[in-house]
Amino acid sequence: MMERPTRNLGFDLLRVTESAAMMAARWMGRGDKNEGDRAAVDAMRLMFGTVDFRGRVVIGEGEKDEAPMLYTGEELGTGNGPEMDIAVDPVEGTTLLANGRPNAIAVVGLAPRGSMMDPGRSYYMQKLVVPPGARNAVDLDAPVSDNLASIAKALGKQVDDLVVFVLDKPRHRTLVDEIRRAGARIQFHTDGDVNGALMAAQGNCGIDLMIGTGGTPEGILAAVAIKVIGGQILGRLDPQSEDERRHLEEAGFDLRKVYSVDDMVRSNDVYFAATGITDGPFLKGVRYESHFVVTHSMVMRGSTGSLRYIESHTDLDKLMQISALSYH
């Protein structure tokens, strides 16, 4: 007898990210990243209130005293249904959005309660992300040149064929020199940790790997999607200030430990959704037409390994209703 399919929470997440993206996109290129983020947060929280689950924010906008909504520890959902950990980034790439640049997205990930890594007060993580074909070919402690050679071999390429996603930050000067000496090519980005990890894990967006230090919350959020895609993310907490280091050591974190995708998300029963806000390599941005709004999203479900790309058309009057509700 065929087992009855269970409900796919990913489609509920789709409505959450679509709403956030549509509201945030109004602020594209207007130079105010805080207003764009606020619009997305308000819309996302409103839509979370319609989802039948008992959610707890593990990766959110910050501590409660700094973020009035979607803060770490906040409870979301109707209170009915499964207990889940939530990772959110209403606008991944607030500066990209404010400056009208590509690759801003709205992102949400879910995992069963207690299965998502809680990074505490860790803000930065050293990361290495690769697609499925190279998931067993990487070692965070190995020299950059060795990792590039192993990844190239696993993917059936030469090192000089590889394209590496690197955040264009002063802390990566030595890393950039090492990549160049090894012969690989670099695609620099000012922001967009989650986007970079998704591009690297999928392996079909012109990026072969992502390497460097970026946000810890973004790493764990990306790990939800990487669980479904089948790639690998390796990470190590990499505090960038003495205060951050002290807080982590006092909390008992081992700063030498390397976390894999299975350490960051300890369940396969995960859900992930992302909607483009501005145009990117795998998700187009929000487009406003005369009577409707067009969005492009991706939805993933871990238990089935499914990945769907969805184009949605939303009536502009309904969007205005969401906007009105979000500001009350």
93 is in an annotated binding site: yes
Tokens of 18: 């679509």
56 is in an annotated binding site: no
305 is in an annotated binding site: no
192 is in an annotated binding site: yes
218 is in an annotated binding site: yes
Handedness of CA 192, 272, 60, 47 (dihedral sign): positive
Q: Do residues 150 and 138 touch, judged by C-beta distance below 8 A?
A: yes
212 is in an annotated binding site: no
b or e along 223-232 (b: 16 or more beta carbons within 10 Å of the residue's beta carbon)?
bbbbbbbebb
Round to whole Å and give the CA distance between 45 and 90: 9
Number of residues in the chain: 328
Closest by CA to 36, choosing from 51, 20, 14, is: 20
Round to whole Å and give the CA distance between 81 and 4: 17
169 is in an annotated binding site: yes
193 is in an annotated binding site: yes
Tokens of 233: 């993310």
77 is in an annotated binding site: no
Distance of CA 173 to the CA centre of its chain: 24
From the number of C-beta atoms within 10 Å of its C-beta (0-12, 13-18, 19+), residue 192 rates as buried
Parallel/antiparallel/unpaired status of strands 306-315 and 287-288: unpaired
Q: What is the 3-state secondary structure (H, E, C) of 262-274?
A: HHHECCCCCEEEE
Tokens of 270: 């995960």
Cite the annotated binding site for Mn(2+) by residue number. Answer: 37, 61, 89, 92, 218
Cite the annotated binding site by residue number. Answer: 37, 61, 89, 92-94, 124, 169-171, 191-193, 215, 218
Cite the annotated binding site for substrate by residue number. Answer: 92-94, 124, 169-171, 191-193, 215
